[in-house]
Structure 1
């Protein structure tokens, strides 16, 4: 999303990194400016994503460090039983919210 921390991290072009926010450098200067931060644990609503999933934050003031992974995927169970099926998981979010 334009103006988000995630956009800045993705544009860096490094697939994964750890960033110490206690050091003074160009990265921490950029992260001291207010940017959009994605909320954790929200119910995904694509029609209101910007308003309901993001808030203004200054990461360098909020955290000591950031770990960024540009691409992630779901874990697969260590033990595959007959009840485990590879593929998309069913929707589990509240459907009447």
Structure 2
């Protein structure tokens, strides 16, 4: 999607337009945490984006979040 223009995109798929998004692509599975040791083993799944999702948000650039501070209590975390 970056090749289509380096800007954020929102796709909302309908019966009329989803047929434009049926090429098979390797799509990063939702929830995968990047770890270079495991990247080669299949963090990407074959997908037809228009058939897999009702909507799709593409963010061209992101940055890491700071983890929330976890405070231990006497009854656990």
Q: Hey, what does 1:68 align to over in structure 2?
A: 58
Instruction: Name the structure, 1 or 2, with higher relative contact order (CA <8 Å, separation 6+).
Output: 2
Q: What is the Cα deviation at residue 34 of structure 1?
A: 1.3
Partner SS state of residue 37, structure 1: strand
Q: How many residues align?
A: 67
Match of 2:13 in 1: 21
Paired residue for 2:48?
Answer: 58
- Secondary structure at the aligned position of 2:39 is classed as helix
Report the structure, 1 or 2, having the larger helix content.
1
| 1:41 alignment partner in structure 2 | 31
| Regions of 4+ moved over 4 Å | none
Structure 2 unaligned spans of 5+: 70-77
Q: TM-score, normalised by structure 1?
A: 0.54
What's the TM-score once normalised by structure 2's chain length? 0.65
Question: Match of 1:15, SS?
Answer: coil
CA spacing shift, 1:33–1:50, aligned 2, 3 Å: farther
Q: CA RMSD in A?
A: 2.7
The C-alpha deviation readout for 1:41-62, integer Å capped at 9, x for no partner, is 3353424424321110111011
